[in-house]
């Protein structure tokens, strides 16, 4: 039928009709991007280059781009498109008026391989349409309508661009001038479901290829997965322990040890093995610290070398700038030409800028070194004491941790001895001999551990005694400083009174309520504390302050001392009912007048 689409395969038909104008035919076929061929198949122009798709010496009027499927670029205005008469077997195509604007087309659908052809002659047949448009490429199907138009589907997208070139041509069947045998062709893009489906399939295929390519790229750059960690056994434990001692295999071994601990492989039987591996990991810290120190030393040497090289460069820059300045003096400057003077001044300016940049860099390095030196100045003596105390405290804590670890290890050895004793009766005689050897070894190890434990405990007691002495000395120094500050104002009065009344003072000293130097220090500290609390303070508050200085001070001792000194401290009751509270106040200034 005329409306149904179908595939056409035309046999070669002998064309014996003569061509009226072979040159016009060759020009038209060249404009279509095809090799100029005659009706019988022979080449019309021997200088046609099939690789370039154009005749030598003739510029391409409408260059096509096969396989790209895009609209060709517009023709430049200085190269007019010359369309000439095209002679076919059954019809003739006459070009449109070159001064008219190009025919309008709709927006190109994606993957378009089908064109709409309108303005066909009423007497036009599918054979004539095939004869005209098969020059543009392989035609897959023609669907002709009864209303003088049809749809043509090509094999490739670039063939549609060639078919659009024929838009605007007037067609005449044979030599007839009848209206039914003439028409004006209008070629435009057509939207077909088959074209869209093929284009979508092609896009999906390209997307799949792109995803596959990206996946391969990601897999190529993805880091390899770590090897699985082996399960714990005595043999693997010995292997990991050896690796922990090797710097090159330490990372692998420490990862295995971490995995075993997280899996819960530590128990009473394997605790000693794990402790030895953890001890090996701890010893690796020293190697890391030494390595860091070596790198820091290399960095300092490199800095020093860079500083020396930079200073040498600056010396050379200074000499070059001095040469420029001496050349700029009038004695030598007058002998240079204008161009030479300009070059010398430019060079001098550039050299001074570079010298200033390098000089600033060197000064910055020296400034950094001075700041580092200022940070390393000697600290105050009080800070030195605090650091010594902190060092002692840290040493005591380390000894405590080591003591605890030795105790745990001793318990582990005892448990192993008990297990060996239980298994001794069940095993054979050969096993008994080996167990006895193990028992001896374990007993020797226990004796050594006990000796080491006793040494650690003695050292721990010595360090605690030293720490206690340091604390007492610090407390005495602080109390003496506070008493000296308070007694500076009253030294003159005390001296005068002591000269006038030596004998009464001796008697009062014998009958004084303060019986020791320790009580004198306590009175001074309590007086200073209550002096800054004008509304008084409870005995618990006062003792809490004193116990910070000396933990051996008790509340009863302080209360008895303050009760004996009635002219210095006074007890008052404040509050009503349940809120009744006893407060001590300092009344030394009033008591001085009374005595």
Tens-level pLDDT at each residue, the chain (595 residues): 334 433 433 333 333 333 444 454 445 445 444 455 544 444 544 444 444 344 444 344 343 333 333 344 444 444 345 778 888 888 989 998 888 888 888 899 999 999 999 999 988 888 889 989 988 999 999 999 888 899 999 999 999 999 998 999 999 888 777 888 889 999 999 999 999 999 999 999 999 999 999 999 998 888 877 778 888 888 989 999 998 888 888 888 888 989 998 888 889 888 899 999 998 889 888 888 999 999 999 998 998 898 888 888 888 988 898 888 888 888 888 888 888 888 988 999 898 899 889 888 888 888 887 787 766 655 455 556 666 677 787 788 888 888 887 888 888 788 778 878 877 766 666 666 787 888 888 999 888 888 999 999 998 998 888 898 888 888 889 888 888 887 776 665 555 555 555 444 444 445 667 778 888 888 889 888 888 888 888 888 889 888 888 888 888 888 888 888 888 888 888 777 667 788 888 888 877 777 6
Cβ atoms within 10 Å, residue 428 = 7
* Backbone angles phi and psi of 383, in degrees to 5: -65, -35
Q: List phi, psi (to 5°) of 7.
A: -85, 135
User: How far lies 422's CA from each of 269, 435, 438, 443, in Å?
Assistant: 15, 11, 14, 16
Q: How far apart are CA 498 and CA 112, in angstroms?
A: 124
Which residues have a Cβ under 8 Å from the Cβ of 2 and sit 6 or more positions away? 126, 144, 145, 146
pLDDT at 212: 95
Classify the phi-psi angles of 367: left when phi > 0, otherwise alpha if psi is within -120 to 50, otherwise beta.
alpha
Let me know: does 55 contact 45? Beta carbons within 8 Å: yes
Helix (H, G, I), strand (E, B) or coil at 534: coil
pLDDT at residue 491, as a whole number: 67
Contacts 24+ apart (CB under 8 A), 279-286: 280/241, 280/244, 280/245, 281/244, 281/254, 281/257, 284/244, 284/247, 284/250
Q: Is 41 left (phi over 0), alpha (psi -120 to 50) or beta?
A: left
Q: How far apart are CA 115 and CA 192, in angstroms?
A: 9
DSSP assignment letter at 549? H
Q: Are the CB atoms for 119 and 192 separated by under 8 Å?
A: no
Note whether 157 and 113 are within 8 A (CB): yes
CATH topology of domain 86-201: Alpha-Beta Plaits (3.30.70)
d(CA 119, CA 224): 68
CB neighbours of residue 219 within 10 Å:
8
The helix or strand, by DSSP H or E, that contains position 581, with its residue range, turns out to be: strand 581-586
In Å, what is the CA distance from 288 to each residue of 197, 256, 292, 298, 309?
A: 66, 20, 6, 15, 31
| Domain 517-592 class in CATH | mainly alpha
- Write the CA distances from 329 to 65, 128, 189, 342, integer angstroms: 71, 96, 82, 14
- What is the reported pTM? 0.31
| Nearest one of 147, 87, 138, 91 to 116, comparing CA atoms | 147
Q: Across the strands, what pairs with 114?
A: 153
In 146-248, the DSSP E strands lie at 149-154, 170-173, 182-184, 186-189
Q: Are strands 149-154 and 114-118 parallel, antiparallel or unpaired?
A: antiparallel
Per-residue HEC secondary structure of 346-415 comes to: HHHHHHHHHHHHHHHHHHHHHHHHHHHHHHCCCCCHHHHHHHHHHHHHHHHHHHHHHHHHHHHHHHHHHH
Cβ–Cβ under 8 Å, residues 133 and 124: no
Closest residue by Cα to residue 463 from 398, 547, 406: 398
Q: For residues 478 and 525, give the distance between their C-alpha atoms in angstroms, rounded to a whole number.
A: 10
Under 8 Å between Cβ of 182 and 171? yes
Transcribe 117-165 into DSSP letters. EE---TT--HHHHHHHHTTSS-EEEEEE-TTSEEEEEESSSHHHHHHHT
List, in sequence order, every residue forming a beta bridge with 337; answer none if it has no partner: none
The torsion region of residue 429 among left (phi > 0), alpha (psi -120 to 50) and beta comes to alpha
CA distance 123 to 171: 11
Cα–Cα dist 221/214, whole Å: 11
Taking Cα atoms as reference points, which of 445, 444, 384 lies closest to residue 409? Answer: 445
- The CB density around residue 518, as the number of other CB atoms within 10 Å, is 14
Domain coordinates in residue numbering, the chain: 86-201, 234-299, 308-369, 517-592
Classify 88 as helix, strand or coil. coil
Distances (CA, A) of 390 to 10, 466, 474: 106, 12, 13
Q: What does the radius of gyration of the chain's CA atoms come to, in whole angstroms?
A: 55
**What letter does residue 43 receive in the DSSP assignment?**
B
At residue 207, the pLDDT reads 95
- Angle (CA) 269-273-278 rounded to 5° is 135
pLDDT for the residue 511: 61
């Amino acid at each position: 039928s005329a409306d149904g689409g179908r595939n056409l395969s035309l046999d070669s038909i002998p064309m014996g009709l003569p061509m009226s104008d072979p040159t016009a035919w060759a020009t038209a076929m060249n404009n279509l991007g095809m090799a100029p061929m005659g009706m019988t198949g022979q080449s019309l122009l021997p200088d046609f280059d099939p690789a370039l798709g154009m005749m030598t010496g003739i510029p391409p009027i409408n260059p096509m781009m096969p396989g790209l499927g895009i609209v060709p670029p517009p023709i430049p205005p200085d190269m007019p498109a010359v369309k000439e008469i095209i002679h076919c077997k059954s019809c003739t195509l006459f070009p449109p008026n070159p001064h008219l604007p190009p025919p309008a087309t709709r927006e190109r659908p994606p993957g378009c391989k089908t064109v709409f052809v309108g303005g066909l002659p009423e007497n036009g047949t599918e054979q004539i349409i095939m004869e005209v448009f098969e020059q543009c490429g392989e035609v897959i199907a023609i669907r002709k309508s009864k209303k003088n138009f049809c749809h043509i589907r090509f094999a490739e997208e670039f063939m549609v661009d060639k078919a659009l070139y024929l838009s605007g041509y007037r067609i005449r069947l044979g030599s007839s001038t009848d209206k039914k045998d003439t028409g004006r062709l209008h070629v435009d893009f057509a939207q077909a479901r088959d074209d869209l489906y093929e284009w979508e399939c092609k896009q999906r295929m390209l997307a799949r290829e792109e995803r596959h390519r990206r996946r391969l790229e990601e897999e190529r750059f993805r880091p390899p997965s770590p090897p699985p960690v082996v399960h714990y056994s005595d043999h693997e434990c010995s292997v990991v322990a050896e690796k922990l001692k090797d710097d090159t295999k330490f990372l692998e071994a420490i990862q295995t040890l971490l995995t075993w601990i997280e899996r819960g492989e530590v128990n009473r039987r394997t605790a000693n093995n794990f402790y030895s591996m953890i001890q090996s990991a701890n010893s690796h810290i020293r190697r890391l610290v030494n390595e860091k120190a070596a790198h820091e030393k290399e960095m300092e040497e490199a800095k020093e070398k860079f500083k020396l090289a930079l200073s040498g460069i600056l010396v050379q820059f200074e000499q070059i700038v001095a040469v420029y300045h001496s050349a700029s003096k009038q004695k030598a400057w007058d002998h240079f030409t204008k161009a030479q003077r300009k070059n010398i001044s430019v060079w001098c300016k550039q050299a001074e800028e570079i010298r200033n940049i390098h000089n600033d860099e060197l000064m910055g390095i020296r400034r950094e070194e001075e700041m580092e030196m200022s940070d390393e100045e000697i600290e105050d003596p009080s800070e030195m004491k605090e650091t010594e105390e902190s060092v002692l405290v840290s040493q005591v804590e380390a000894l405590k941790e080591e003591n605890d670890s030795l105790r745990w290890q001793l318990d582990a050895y005892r448990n192993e001895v008990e297990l060996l004793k239980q298994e001794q009766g069940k095993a054979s005689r050969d096993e008994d001999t080996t167990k006895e050897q193990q028992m001896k070894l374990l007993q020797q190890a226990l004796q050594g551990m006990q000796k080491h434990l006793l040494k650690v405990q003695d050292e721990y007691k010595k360090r605690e005694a030293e720490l206690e002495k340091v604390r007492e000395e610090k407390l005495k120094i602080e109390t003496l400083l506070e008493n000296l500050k308070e007694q500076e104002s009253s030294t003159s009065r005390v001296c005068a009174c002591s000269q006038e009344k030596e004998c009464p003072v001796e008697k009062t000293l014998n009958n004084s309520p303060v019986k020791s130097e320790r009580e004198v220090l306590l009175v001074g500290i309590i007086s200073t504390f209550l002096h800054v609390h004008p509304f008084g303070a409870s005995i618990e508050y006062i003792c809490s302050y004193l116990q910070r200085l000396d933990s051996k001070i008790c509340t009863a001792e302080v209360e008895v001392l303050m009760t004996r000194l009635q002219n210095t401290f006074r007890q008052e009751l404040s509050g009503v009912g349940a809120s009744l509270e006893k407060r001590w106040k300092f009344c030394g200034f009033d008591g001085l007048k009374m005595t």
